């Protein structure tokens, strides 16, 4: 019942994709998702060289014989200068899927990836970006709603609006991201016309996630109102959990806005990936930005990846049986 263009293109059992999350998308998590029938994802931006990425790919292969992908960041602050080398490694190692995401079109990488038989999923925060991605040759797009954790774009359009709009505008498959954590949200995304879902926050709060126990505890206790959007002054927007670092970023941005100055030198140390690592991996909760979606308010316990995916898949079947019963009355 789950066979569609996304499952066939990616050679996976269920159209469930793990997001490419900075510091979180490690071999153990990616392999766990792939082993349960979804598509695990590594985040290339955490590796300082192409050989480090190759080692991570090898480790993932040692943990699963199922397909997985690698996220290629198009943000200028996250190792974009290594992307050509990273893509060469993907092709050489036979990784079949690349997720591209960031502030620009993936056009410069499409040719090399296509030559290497790599399927390309581009993450988009607006219909215009999705149309451009389709035009330059990607195989699918992930549309992120404003509920999404991490990069949200600037449009503030929710998943419920973004997905059907993208489905109507595009010919390639659309994958939904933002606000998805269980069977109900999975079914809702499919009902909107998506052919798959991309999940970040829920997989961050699993046993296989490398996040620090203090950070996982924070996720369980957080409400849907505990996230804010930072970095609007940089024209990107990131949804993060509210902490001292996030409040400081907003203070600097507000001061710059009121004075007409662009306080980049003050912002960069606060929003760096290294500071985010301290929060998520070291458990120093107040020291950096903690990327997280509003769906955190619906997470009340740490589960295994298997439990998360089983609930989504089995719940999907139960919900659809219920809907069929209602429609037949």
Whether the pTM exceeds 0.85: the reply is yes
CA distances from 64 to 38, 68, 191 (A): 12, 9, 31
Closest of 84, 76, 82 to residue 101, by C-alpha: 76
CA-to-CA distance for 1 and 186, rounded, in angstroms? 14
Q: Show Cβ contacts of residue 238 under 8 Å, excluding neighbours closer than 6 positions.
A: 150, 151, 152, 229, 230, 231, 271, 289, 291
Question: 198-218 pLDDT, tens per residue?
Answer: 999 999 999 999 999 999 999
Domains annotated for the chain, with CATH where assigned, are 5-211+300-328 (3.20.20.70), 213-295 (no CATH)
pLDDT at residue 257 in the model: 75
Residue 79 has pLDDT above 70, yes or no: no
| pLDDT per residue as tens digits for the range 32-58 | 999 999 999 999 999 999 999 999 999
Which pLDDT score is estimated for 238? 95
**What value does the mean pLDDT of the chain take?**
93
Least confidently predicted of 104-113, 228-237, 259-268: 259-268
| Residue 316's pLDDT band (cuts 50, 70, 90) | low
Burial of 98 (0-12, 13-18, 19+ CB in 10 A): buried
The pair of structure tokens assigned to 11 is 């050679």
For residue 80, what pLDDT is reported? 62
Asked if 241 and 226 count as a contact pair (C-beta separation under 8 A), the reply is yes
Of 179, 95, 171, 164, which Cα lies nearest the Cα of 133?
Answer: 171
pLDDT of residue 45: 93
CA dihedral 136, 153, 19, 197 (to 10 degrees): -80
In this predicted model, what pLDDT tens digit does every residue of 117-145 receive, in sequence order? 999 999 999 999 999 999 999 999 999 99
| Residue 264, pLDDT score | 82
Q: Which residues contact 45 (CB under 8 A, 6 or more apart)?
A: 22, 71, 73, 75, 78, 79, 273
Q: Is the pLDDT of residue 260 over 90?
A: no
């Amino acid at each position: 019942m789950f066979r569609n263009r996304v499952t066939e293109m990616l050679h996976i059992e269920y159209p469930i994709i793990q997001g490419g999350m900075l510091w979180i998308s490690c071999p153990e998590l990616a392999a766990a998702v792939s082993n349960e029938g979804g598509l695990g994802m590594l985040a290339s931006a955490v590796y300082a060289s192409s050989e480090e990425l190759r080692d991570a790919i090898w480790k993932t292969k040692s943990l699963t014989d199922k397909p997985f992908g690698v996220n290629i960041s198009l943000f200028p602050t996250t190792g974009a200068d290594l992307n050509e080398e990273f893509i060469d490694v993907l092709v050489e190692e036979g990784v079949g899927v690349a997720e591209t995401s960031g502030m620009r079109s993936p056009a410069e990488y499409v040719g090399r990836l296509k030559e290497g038989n790599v399927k390309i999923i581009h993450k988009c925060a607006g219909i215009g970006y999705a149309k451009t991605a389709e035009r330059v040759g990607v195989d699918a797009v992930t549309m992120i709603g404003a509920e999404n954790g991490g990069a949200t774009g600037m449009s503030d359009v929710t998943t419920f609006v973004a997905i059907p709009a993208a489905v109507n505008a595009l010919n390639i498959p659309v994958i939904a991201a933002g606000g998805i954590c269980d069977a109900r949200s999975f079914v809702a995304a499919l009902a909107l016309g998506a052919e798959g879902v991309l999940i970040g926050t829920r997989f961050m709060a699993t046993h296989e996630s490398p996040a620090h126990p203090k950070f996982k505890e924070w996720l369980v206790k957080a409400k849907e109102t505990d996230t804010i959007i930072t970095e609007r002054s940089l024209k990107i927007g990131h949804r993060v959990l509210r902490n001292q670092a996030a409040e400081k970023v907003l203070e600097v941005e507000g001061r710059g806005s009121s004075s007409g100055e662009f306080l980049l030198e003050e912002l960069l140390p606060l929003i760096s990936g290294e500071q985010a690592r301290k929060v998520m991996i070291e458990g120093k909760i107040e020291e950096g930005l903690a990327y997280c979606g509003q769906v955190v308010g619906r997470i009340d316990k740490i589960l295994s990846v298997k439990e998360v995916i089983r609930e989504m898949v089995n719940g999907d079947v139960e919900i659809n049986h219920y809907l069929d019963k209602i429609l037949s009355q």
